[in-house]
Amino acid sequence: MNSFLADVFIPALGIGALYGLVGISFNLIFAPAGTFNFAQGQIVMLGGLMALSFYQQNGWPVLLALVAVMAIGAAVALAEERIAVWPALRRDPRGIGWVLSTLAVFTIIQNLAILRWGTTPQNVKSFPGLSVSRRDVLGLQLAPYHFGVLLIAVAITVGLYLFSRRSAIGRATAAVAQDRDAAALRGVNVRLVISLGFVMGGALACLTGMLAAPLTLATVNVGLTFTFRGFTAAALGGMGDNTGALAAGLALGLIEQLTLRYWQGGYVNLVILLVLLGLLLVRPEGLFGQAVPRRV
């Protein structure tokens, strides 16, 4: 039991929190824009690689690296929104143009990253106060890192909840998410709200990538995995529901660790896909989402 806690449950919480954060970063974009950002996993990947460059190789202080990484993530997402998403959305809000254009950005970021960082995975040392190496806590061998990531994820979820309830811009985002036209009629600057969604989503994605780097290694190949897990967390939790995404992310972490322990690593994605398909067929709106009646 102790080894289960230490080897499966606690790591599951840490990794699951990361998936939940990626899911939340999807939500931040999905809520106002109604689009799923295929490139989001690649922005997460950029976060890890920039942490490698700034923090590890250039030796910047961790806070400075964090701010730089998040700022660049925000800028990349904003550029994506301006160049790739908005033109497609404006032309046909219900079309699939944005699916293709965000896929294009997915490809572009991946290949730019390969040109800059190559394809070899690299180790990133953990941040001060958050060691990935295990130490004895109450007789269990635990890594503080997992707890730290979980705490950060919970804090971000709570912060976003307060932001969306208390601040004017947060309420405007909620209004746009519910009915874009009605919000526009009430004087909400929809364009700005959508851009802000991308800025926040990009910053959070890069933050998550930086947090993940000491656990997963910094490599160009994590982008697809994070798109996979982040989408699953967001969809299972109910698109747009941040608490749901975090809870679903933690569940995914557990599923992954259980599969690793009792089956084989190569089946993790299969198991997650089956869980996702099964759940979406029964509850298309996700575990915590609200069913939306069809409009005729």
Partner 1 sequence: MSVASRSARRPAGRGLGAAVVRNAPLLLGLGVLLLFLLWTRVDIGGAWSSVHRKPLFLANQLMLYMLVAIGLNLISGYVGAASIGHIALYAIGAYSVAILTVNHGWGFWPALLAGGLVAAAASLPVGLILLRLSGWYFSVITLLLVVVVNDLEIQKAGLTGGGAGIFGLTMPHLFGVALDLRGYLYLLIAVNLLVFLLLRHLVESSRWGRAFVAVRDVEPAACAVGVHPFMVRESALAISAFIAGLAGGLFAPLPGTINPDAFPIIDSIFFLLAVLAGGFGTVAGPVVGMAVLFSLPQVLAEQASLRRYSFLVYGVVLLLLVIFLPEGIVGGVQRLWRRLTGRAAYDAYAAAGAESGAEAGRDGREAAAGLGALAVLAVPRPLAAGLRRLAFSGARSGAAATGPAAAPASSRAPAAQAVIAERANTEAEFALESIGIRKSFGDAVALDGVTLRVRPGTVHAVIGPNGSGKTTLLNIASGFYRQDAGQIRVFGRRVARGRPYRAIRHGLARTFQTQQLLPELSVLENVMLGCHARGHVWMLDGMLPLPHVRRERRRFQQTAHACLDLVGLGRGFAETPAGLLPFAHQRLVEIARALAGRPRVLLLDEPASGLHAGEVQAFAALVRSLRQAGLTIVLVEHNFGLVSELADTITVLDAGAVLAEGDFETVRNDPRVVEAYLGG
Q: Under DSSP, is residue 119 helix (H, G, I), strand (E, B) or coil?
A: coil
Position among 57, 95, 116, 178 found at the interface with partner 1 (CB under 8 A): 95
Q: Tell me 125's DSSP state.
A: P
As measured in angstroms, the least distance from the Cβ of 142 to partner 1 is: 29
Q: Which residue in the set 152, 275, 280, 287 belongs to the binding site for partner 1 (CB under 8 A)?
A: 280
Between 96 and 185, whose beta carbon lies closer to partner 1?
96
What are the percentages of helix, strand and coil residues in the chain, rounded to 5? Answer: 75, 5, 20
Among 104, 132, 174, 190, binds partner 1 (CB under 8 A): 104
State whether residue 264 is helix, strand or coil: coil
Does 179 sit near partner 1 (CB under 8 A)?
Answer: no
- Chain positions 2 to 41 lying near partner 1, rule: CB under 8 A, are 35-36, 38
103 binds partner 1 (CB under 8 A): yes
* 9-to-3, 23, 168, 241 alpha-carbon distances in Å: 9, 20, 39, 24
Would you count residue 266 as binding partner 1 (CB under 8 A)?
A: yes
- Using CB under 8 A as the binding rule, whether residue 293 contacts partner 1 is answered as yes
- Interaction between residue 276 and partner 1 (CB under 8 A): yes
Neighbours of 240 (CB within 10 A): 23
Element (H, E) at 159: helix 144-166
Q: Which of 130, 168, 134 is nearest to 10 (CA)?
A: 134
Specify the residue, 84 or 149, whose C-beta has the smaller distance to partner 1: 84
What's the CA gap between 171 and 163, in Å, rounded? Answer: 8
Provide the binding-site residues for partner 1, judged by CB under 8 A.
35-36, 38, 83-84, 87-88, 91-92, 95-97, 99-101, 103-108, 110-112, 114-115, 224-225, 227-228, 231-232, 235, 264, 266-270, 273, 276-277, 280-281, 284, 293-294, 296
